[in-house]
Amino acid sequence: MKKLFATALLSCSLLGFSQFNVPIASPKQKVEQQFSMTKISVEYGRPGVKGRKVFGELVPFGKVWRAGANSATKVTFEQNVNIGGKDVISGSYALFVIPMEKEWKVMLNKDANQWGAYTYDEKLNVAEFTVPVQKLSDKQEWFEISVNPVDIHSAEMLIKWDMTKVAIPIKEWKPEMVAKIIDKLNEIKQIEKDAAPKK
């Protein structure tokens, strides 16, 4: 009986521990932002500065970088967008950059499930553009990507690490078509509201 009780106790303990993870050096992060009629999500690893010189050493200038740590950064658009001046259809993409001192080249790649940039193939890029580098006034210890609304039709994807920031502009693709769809959706909502039983 004692053995049975001990086995049951051990099983419960192991079951409890199975819900914990070993801490990792570059924690995973997923951010989501409502955009236009749908949303944008970004999944990435967050390395820390940890006293190192980041850009130009840890992350060399002029070389393809995964824009984060571990798996390549994955960006998902639930509707067609214009990003960095390039039209991109809805779907998931790997985000790669080539950092330079004054500007970054940004690439969206069809292979959204890569580890690092080891199998990066530029032939799979669906969009390439450059964005200027900005200087942060305060140090950003942990690498961070955020998506912030500019207005109801546009947003900015901000990448910040150490003393560096870049802003990637995102807009609706074919805004006149999106406006027509939104008008129709509003008409449907009004019809549903008018048809609802009065209390």
How far does CA 152 lie from the centroid of its chain? 19
Mean pLDDT of 24-28: 80
CB 81 within 8 Å of CB 88:
yes
CB 107 within 8 Å of CB 97:
yes
Burial of 109 (0-12, 13-18, 19+ CB in 10 A): buried
CB contact set of 16 (below 8 Å; sequence gap of 6+): none
* pLDDT tier for residue 182 given thresholds of 50, 70 and 90: low
Distance CA 175, CA 90 (A): 15
Write out the two tokens for 16.
Answer: 């409890």
**For residue 131, which amino acid is it?**
V
Nearest CA among 157, 127, 131 for reference residue 145: 157
Whether pLDDT at 111 is above 50: yes
* pLDDT tier for residue 77 given thresholds of 50, 70 and 90: very high
CB 140 within 8 Å of CB 162:
yes
Q: How confident is the model at residue 8, as a pLDDT?
A: 47
Q: How confident is the model at residue 116, as a pLDDT?
A: 85
